[in-house]
Amino acid sequence: MPLLNIILNILLPPLAVFLKHGISSTFFISLLLTLIGWLPGVIHAFIVNK
């Protein structure tokens, strides 16, 4: 996993998911989890962007 992707996963999880998967249900799940709490969004981003 490139360093930039790791940084985006931590700072802006929905953006990292968007860059890999585009506008999809995965992006919206990441956005929702990040709005609920930052940590669930980060965990989801790392799982999705393996």
pLDDT of 42 reads 97
pLDDT of 46 reads 97
pLDDT of 7 reads 96
Indicate the SS3 state at residue 37: coil
HEC sequence for 10-26:
HHCHHHHHHHHHCCCHH
- pLDDT profile of the chain (50 residues), mean per 10: 93 97 97 97 96
pLDDT of 1 reads 76
pLDDT of 41 reads 97
Assign 3-state DSSP to the chain and report helix, strand, coil percentages, each to 5.
80, 0, 20
pTM to 2 decimal places? 0.91
Q: How far apart are CA 32 and CA 38, in angstroms?
A: 10
Extents of the domains making up the chain: 3-48
